[in-house]
Amino acid sequence: MHKSIFISSLHLTIVGLLGFTLISQLHAHAYEHDHDWIKPTTEKIGDGHGEIAVAANGEVYLSVGTGEKAGIQVYAADGKYLRNVANAPDDFHGFVIVKEAEEEFIYGARLKKGEILKMTLAGEVVLKIPTYGTPVEKFFRKHRKTGKSLGARLTSVDALPNGDIFVVDGYGNDHIFRFNQKGEYLGEFGGRMKAPLKLMNCHKIFIDHRYGKPRLLLCDRLNNRLVHTTLEGELIKVYATKLRKPSSAAFYKDLVAIAEIDGRISVFNKQGEMVAEVGTNNTKDIGKNTFGPETWINGVVKAPHGIAFDAMGDILMTEYNQWGRVMKFQLKK
């Protein structure tokens, strides 16, 4: 069975008969598709419109919106299904695993319910932050004709080790809200097309610890760029441009991997230089959740939506897909 092999320094691009980029131009890093990695309990994982994350013990957490095992599924490092997280809802569009002291917690942004949950890995809810009936509600998008609130459309969340929480309404008005560890509202910044950030579908946000002092990395999807800001919302710089609708990010040492929903995974160094291009799809069959398993080609992505690194530097990716498609790309040593 064919595996997509990505080779650095040779700068070769081989395009298959269907227009797929099977070997991509790279600069410093190479990844190989592991097409046999995931082993779900059913043929259909479930609707993939969420995120993927890896715990310190190597277990992989995957948010799934539909199916008999909707919620957060947990897989072993070898891809074998283990269990579901108790009490995890089926609308975690974005979630992260954050270590605080000696314990790891799941922070999730609920797309439908408009609330933030903090949970133990075992599924105990330790904090619930509603957005309805709080100062956040005044920023909700309103219907252009009726003026009625369309509610919170929370798409991503991340937290500092001290418990401060950042969440974005990336399907709403692109405001980034900050709460303390008790769930108390501290303020907001951003806003759709509002200077100086001028965001347009700030799909997901992440705390970037690569520079000493933590900063935010914003996946500004419809502007096809990544933006760095301070934790207070001041623009630091535009980190990368001309992307394919960046939808999520994950960090490994000095690298960040970006899930681009229009058919690509890219990897950047601290300077914002692309050092790897993975799974590139140069056809028109990208960016939608309607491409069934019969259309999948090993090593070629269609709609990357969530992304993670494991401890070995391998890339795990979940697609925007009705059936649920999860891929693993191993870092070639």
Give the mean model confidence (pLDDT) for residues 307-311.
Answer: 98
Instruction: List the domain range (segments joined by +) for residue 238.
Output: 14-331
pTM summary value: 0.91
Do residues 259 and 305 make contact, with C-beta atoms less than 8 angstroms apart? Answer: yes
Q: Domain of 247: which CATH number?
A: 2.120.10.30
DSSP label at 221?
G
Residue 317 bridge partners (DSSP): 307, 327
pLDDT confidence of residue 4: 41
Distance from C-alpha of 299 to C-alpha of 31, rounded to nearest angstrom: 10
Give a yes or no: residue 7 inside a domain: no
pLDDT digits (tens, 9 = 90+) for 16-57: 434 443 334 445 789 999 999 999 988 899 999 999 999 999
Q: For 279-295, write each residue's pLDDT tens digit.
A: 999 999 999 999 999 99
Least confident of 9-13, 31-35, 145-149, 168-172: 9-13
pLDDT at 17: 39
Return the pLDDT at 292.
Answer: 95
Burial of 60 by CB count in 10 Å (0-12 exposed, 13-18 middle, 19+ buried)? buried
Residue 35 lies in a domain: yes
Residue 205 lies in a domain: yes
- Token pair 């950042």 in the structure block, residue: 166
* Share of the chain residues as helix, strand and coil, in percent rounded to the nearest 5: 5, 45, 50
Element (H, E) at 132: none
pLDDT at 301 > cutoff 60: yes
State yes or no: pLDDT of 225 exceeds 70: yes
Domain membership of residue 126 (yes or no) is yes
Q: Could you tell me if 148 and 137 are in contact, meaning their C-beta atoms sit under 8 angstroms apart?
A: no
pLDDT at 153: 93
pLDDT of 110-124, one tens digit each? 999 999 999 999 999
Return d(Cα 205, Cα 228) in angstroms, integer: 10
Bond prior to 196 in cis (omega within 30° of 0): yes
Q: Which two tokens stand for residue 211?
A: 């520079």
Region 195-219: mean pLDDT is 97
The more confidently predicted of residues 79 and 1 is 79
Instruction: State percent of the chain over pLDDT 90.
Output: 82
- Does the pLDDT at position 8 exceed 50? no
Question: How does the average pLDDT of the chain come out, rounded?
Answer: 91
Q: In this predicted model, what pLDDT tens digit does every residue of 76-87 receive, in sequence order?
A: 999 999 999 999
Residue 97's H or E segment, with its range, is: strand 92-100
pLDDT at 2 over 60: no
72 occurs within a structural domain: yes
Q: Is residue 222 part of a domain?
A: yes
State how far the Cα of 321 lies from the Cα of 308, in Å rounded to an integer.
17
- 4 in a domain, yes or no? no
| Structural domain count, the chain | 1
Per residue in 262-279, pLDDT (tens digit) is 999 999 999 999 999 999
**9 lies in a domain?**
no
Instruction: Give the pLDDT score at 27.
Output: 55
